[in-house]
């Protein structure tokens, strides 16, 4: 944006609007297609701010999922996934960091460690890339989830900036309620997020009803205890009055027992929330719960008046499903 403003310094004011329309609405991939701009400006923009996004694209067999392996300017790579849920819903799952420092034991990204945070532009570019792909299909991106690589609340400012750009009516104009952000439970992030006055959906990766097991699955839980986490969620809800979603990974013989379903029901009693039961995508560590175990678990929650949804598996054959995103080091 700063570079753009510099280039547009001598141009009339309405140029910025024209530029935004070309990039976010017309989804051009080269300034030559920005027909409202003078030729000399298009040339200058192509030289100084090229719109090309370098990426390798993989489609799942059923054509519902597309994964992009994007090469950033410094050579680092990230993955972004598009899920075509229905005619009306095309969701882009964006990454917020290259890698992730939190080392959750079940997550492929966690094994990479943190390489660096992404800038807001790099987050927005992931959506632009899929916007361009959807345009070719005469369709568009409708929803954004921050559930790709990285912990969004450890890159707070750039994530918020990206949401604002994507939501901007002069930009992509995506409805604010069509954004969801998933956190492993960084309480400072949750508290800060409550004050943003943004109606973005908040999801919390819970995965266990007890502190002891949660610590084993997610080392960061040692720093952010369950009691602290729930205090933060309560204060978030007091301010926003918004329902939260709890993500619960179903791991065979680890967190999928009847007892644990009861413990979870107790923990969530009285909270405005829903639980998303996530089938575990194997990353070589644990085993996924059986369908029967998931159904039994679900029934107990529902018997205790807890709203439950089951996550559909997308793009396993191209390693695009939750927790499978990881980039191997070069060489």
Question: In the bound complex, what is the minimum distance in angstroms from residue 311's beta carbon to ligand SAH?
Answer: 8
Tell me the window of 40-48, 75-83, 164-172, 178-186 that interacts with ligand SAH (CB under 6 A). 178-186
Say how far apart CA 148 and CA 96 lie, in whole Å: 7
Query: What are the percentages of helix, strand and coil residues in the chain, rounded to 5?
Result: 40, 20, 40
Q: Is 80 exposed, middle or buried (0-12, 13-18, 19+ CB in 10 A)?
A: buried
The 3-state DSSP class for residue 12 equals coil
According to CB under 6 A, which residues from 74 to 113 bind ligand SAH?
100, 106-107
Say how far apart CA 132 and CA 124 lie, in whole Å: 12
Residue 293 found at the interface with ligand SAH (CB under 6 A): no
Question: In the bound complex, what is the minimum distance in angstroms from residue 8's beta carbon to ligand SF4?
Answer: 37
Kindly state the DSSP code that residue 223 receives in the 8-state scheme. T
Q: Is 90 annotated as a binding residue?
A: no
The 3-state DSSP class for residue 8 equals coil
Tell me the window of 5-13, 77-85, 102-110, 253-261 that interacts with ligand SF4 (CB under 6 A). 102-110
Nearer to ligand SAH, 7 or 213 (CB): 213
Instruction: Yes or no: say if 55 and 68 are a contact pair by the CB < 8 Å rule.
Output: yes
Question: In the bound complex, what is the minimum distance in angstroms from residue 191's beta carbon to ligand SF4?
Answer: 18
Residue 158 found at the interface with ligand SF4 (CB under 6 A): no
Tell me the window of 105-113, 208-216, 223-231, 293-301 that interacts with ligand SF4 (CB under 6 A). 105-113
| 79 counts as catalytic | yes
Say how far apart CA 141 and CA 173 lie, in whole Å: 11
The set of catalytic residues is 79, 322
**Residues in touch with ligand SF4 (CB under 6 A):** 100, 102-104, 107, 109-110, 150-151, 184
């Amino acid at each position: 944006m700063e570079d753009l403003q510099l280039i547009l310094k001598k141009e009339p004011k309405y140029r910025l609007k024209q530029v935004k329309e070309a990039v976010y609405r017309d989804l051009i991939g080269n300034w030559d297609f920005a027909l409202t701009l003078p030729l000399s400006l298009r040339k200058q923009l192509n030289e100084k701010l090229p719109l090309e996004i370098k990426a390798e694209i993989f489609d799942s067999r059923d054509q519902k999922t597309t994964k992009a392996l994007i090469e950033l300017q410094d050579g680092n790579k990230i993955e972004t996934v598009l899920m075509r849920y229905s005619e009306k819903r095309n969701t882009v799952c964006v990454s917020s960091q290259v890698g992730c420092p939190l080392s959750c034991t079940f997550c492929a990204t966690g094994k990479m460690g943190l390489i660096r945070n992404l800038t807001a532009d790099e987050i927005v570019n992931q959506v632009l890339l899929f916007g361009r792909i959807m345009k070719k299909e005469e369709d568009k991106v409708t929803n954004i989830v921050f559930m790709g690589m990285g912990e969004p609340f450890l890159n707070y400012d750039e994530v918020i900036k990206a949401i604002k750009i994507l939501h901007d009516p002069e930009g992509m104009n995506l409805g604010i309620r069509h954004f969801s952000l998933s956190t492993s439970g960084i309480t400072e992030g949750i508290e800060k997020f409550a004050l943003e006055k943004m109606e973005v959906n908040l999801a919390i990766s819970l995965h266990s009803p007890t502190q002891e097991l949660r610590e084993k699955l997610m080392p960061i839980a040692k720093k952010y205890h369950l009691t602290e986490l729930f205090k933060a969620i309560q204060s978030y809800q007091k301010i926003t009055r918004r329902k939260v979603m709890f993500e619960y990974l179903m791991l065979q013989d680890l967190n999928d027992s009847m007892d644990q379903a009861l413990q979870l029901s107790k923990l969530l009693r009285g909270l405005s929330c829903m639980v998303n039961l996530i089938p575990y995508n194997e990353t070589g560590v644990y085993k996924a719960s059986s369908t029967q175990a998931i159904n039994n678990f679900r029934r107990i929650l529902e018997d205790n008046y807890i709203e439950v949804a089951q996550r559909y598996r997308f793009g396993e054959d191209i390693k695009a499903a939750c927790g499978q995103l990881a980039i191997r080091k070069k060489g």
